[in-house]
Amino acid sequence: MLIPEPVYNIEKSYDDNYRDGPVFHGRIPASMPSTRPVSFLGITANSRLGIPAGPLLNSDWIGFYATMGFDLLVYKTVRTHAHPSYPPPNCLYVSVSGDLTPTSLSTPLIGTPRMEPASMRDITITNSFGMPSQAPAVWQEDVSRARKKIGPGQVLIVSVVGTEREGESIAENFARAAKMAKESGAQAVEVNFSCPNVKGTEGQIFQDPETAGKVAKTVRRELGPDYPLIVKVGYIGSDAEADRLLREIGPHINAIAAINTLSATVINPEGRPALPGPGRERSGVCGNAIRKAALEVVSRLSGRISSMKIPLSVIGVGGLMTVEDYDLFLASGADFAMTATGAMWDPYLAFHQKQQNLR
């Protein structure tokens, strides 16, 4: 039996999906299995499962996935200014055999717009959006709307990114975006320090611990001491790298989310770049093939946080495609887990996970 088409239409543009999505032809569960509440950074939540900044383009997407039982919902990354998406295609299937690692990604991958996956284990994709954002007047109003669409025990998190602008440092811009998100109704803010699909330095901040620390400190000062603050990072390949980053950001944040895809060169079957336009030769790979790398980073961060005695939660992201994967993330040291690609192809994933908890 073939897997249904994703609720995000990968054959259409980001703007089309923002306006018309999500596309769902199934039935929304009449009721959700009850679970024991947990504390998410001091906020009562129904479960430890959520969706990272990716598929949740606006309040319509937030509202849909909330009704499907995902309780930790991260509004897709926004900015202090309007920023367009890269042109389509923005998502492609990627042909992969086995697990991907940063080392194996020295060889280009082949991307294609069409595939017929037979299971969730067949789904690995690349995405390239460039962290688009509506103008603040638009997204702030929509964040307020999203907050009203979630239910009790569900948490609205807003992902923000900063850029260096005239008269404003990158740290100051991050802080301004975070303040705007908080004022709009976000219950927590995630600062996105990792995105392989942008041309500026804002996509690699996690690789510069000193800058990451300055940004985290500036954002914390703007949000106040008790407001939940999360940092999103990419692949961290050693304990030494983790230690350097954690020493800088640890005093200022409440949680660290990892990972935000793996970066790869993606070509079409003819050997040309699969994604048109300059600066898109490399793009983020997500889905089934990056789970091993994500679990490695989760385990590393959890271990180093414990050794350094830093009061941080770990949010595991990357390759969570099934209920069994959710269990793997928690067993690897994650306090919470999020799924993007998995939720795009299986919106019932949260329902199934909650059902399993009752067994």
Catalytic residues: 195
Dihedrals phi, psi of 73, to nearest 5 degrees? -120, 115
Q: Which helix (H) or strand (E) holds 156?
A: strand 155-160
Torsion angle in degrees (nearest 10) through CA of 193, 336, 221, 250: -70
Classify residue 312 by its DSSP letter: -
- How far is Cα 23 from Cα 290, in angstroms, rounded to an integer? 26
The 10 Å CB-count burial string (b at 16+, else e) for 171-206 is: bbbbbbbbbbbbebbbbbbbbbbbbbbbeeebbbbb
Cα separation values, 203 from 50, 103, 131, 157, 162, Å:
23, 20, 9, 19, 10
DSSP string, 160-211: E----BTTB-HHHHHHHHHHHHHHHT-SEEEEE---TT-SSGGGGGGG-HHH
Per the CB < 8 A criterion, the answer to whether 113 and 126 are in contact is no
Strands (E), 268-354: 282-287, 313-317, 336-338
Q: How many H helices and E strands in the chain? A: 10, 15
Burial of 101 (0-12, 13-18, 19+ CB in 10 A): middle
How many whole angstroms from its chain centre is CA 260? 6
